[in-house]
Chain A
């Protein structure tokens, strides 16, 4: 089973929930947590383990052979991403803009462009007890997160085909989130009961509805009375899996990079509720 933990707005508690849920389940059962927020991966700050794998990840970009080039200009013409410019004497490749479609190389009449790998990031995997943790980080200056997210998911499918997989997803509603959530069985949307949280949640709900995903909401920094997110979920028949009360203690523990389920009863209760709702292993039965 694959579960994504996502949110429209950043900073609502995605990583807190992902790491605590993974560590809590791992007390008794095997689980894999993958951090797919490759631009700013944070899950690893809260977990430790022994490294079991490190792999550089690449995307394919064209490399120009001056000797073979007949300067026909076809490469520039077929590139929809302005990643290749054919000047009278040279051809310039802008690797960061390249989407690796291969059109320029395969349609070059002189075979003057070959596709070569360019490093975009690094995948690392760790193990501690029942918990496997996988993290990919995008190299600074690389613009596209999607290829690295896709490759990380393939790696997970190869290495953990039948595992319980939790995916800490990137924030927002655009291409990185789609890539991270499109193959999952369920999406947990983490939000907070402010107009910002609610506004971005409605965008996330629209995204998941478009993707035809089953989803539920976890309200972080929950308010006992007049919680606008709770009201929204009720009106729209969206299941609220759990609520975590607003507290300075939680914020302080987070600031120190500490796990919360052991010291914050509310967090443990929330995790139990999620485990029960999704029929996951572990938790207090």
Chain B
């Protein structure tokens, strides 16, 4: 089983549209995983059945039992996150500020502070309308630990692929370079960078590529909206050459990207454009890179 992770650095480059389209053309051999748990959108195109929902618990938040509290102030004194305040003469924890380090509970002389595990979201093993499987998640509002939820989604996807003998796991990663992205990259066999020929697209891809270099991961690049700014497309191609990154495909700036999302379809299901063929070739190119 091989794992391919699609990331972009910058949001809105077409990462999810392309991942969903690849899932469509390779539906007989791909198990998809949506690791953009912060803003998971794959389900809008693949219509999964939200099967087998499982609550995900990770991290803790401190809770003060005001009955047992003797207002000694030790918890407030050790908290580095200003998460404990005095309201109406009572010590209380602000859940949004609490990091879950549990230091306060350890110093409380009356054991008045508990640190219950937090339900930070749900994950699902679904069957999509294409009859392939999708592992995806829904992160709770304002919660931490999205990196851990990403790790969970990936682990479930991998073990399901092995169990069902599915050759490829295709992961829709998250934007940025922080913990959810780092988490989605662990164990990847190949990384697909989706970028666009804009000043931000190039800037963000450079940063995310530096991250890939730290992990020593092989990668290739899809330039989406390539004709939007031909000069910048050439700049990106120059960067790819200098860094020895495979140029996997150039996709056009095409209204079908928006149209497909609006219809709840993937871009390869709309007739009359060059997109289906390009995605088909892209999928075969990615597979051949994995053979190298």
Contacts and interface: CB of A to CB of B under 8 A. Distances in A.
Residue among B143, B178, B180, B208 having the largest count of chain A Cβ atoms under 10 Å: B178
Interface string A136-150: 001011111100000
B39 A144 contact: no
Contact of B211 (A81, A141, A172): A141
Contact of A254 (B80, B102, B103, B198): B198
Interface in A102-155: 102-103, 106-107, 138, 140-145
A207 B141 contact: yes
B261 A196 contact: yes
Interface stretch (B25-33, B158-166, B199-207, B272-280): B199-207
Contact of B44 (A81, A174, A195): A195
A210 B16 CA distance: 27
Main secondary structure of the interface of A (DSSP, over half): loop
Interface in B1-22: 9-13, 16
Contact of A8 (B10, B39, B59, B208): B39
For chain B, the bracket of interface size reads 35 or more
A207 B142 contact: yes
Interface stretch (A21-29, A37-45, A49-57, A84-92): A37-45
A265 B141 CA distance: 37
A81 B207 contact: no
A9 B12 contact: yes
Nearest to A175: B144
Interface stretch (A10-18, A237-245, A274-282): A10-18
B149 to A, nearest CB: 9
Given A144-B178, A174-B143, 10 more contacts: A10-B39, A40-B208, A42-B10, A174-B180, A206-B141, A248-B253, A251-B253, A255-B199, A255-B229, A256-B232
22 contacts: A12-B12, A40-B200, A40-B207, A42-B199, A80-B115, A99-B101, A101-B103, A102-B103, A106-B103, A140-B210, A143-B178, A143-B179, A143-B182, A172-B174, A195-B261, A248-B228, A248-B253, A251-B228, A255-B196, A255-B199, A255-B225, A257-B200
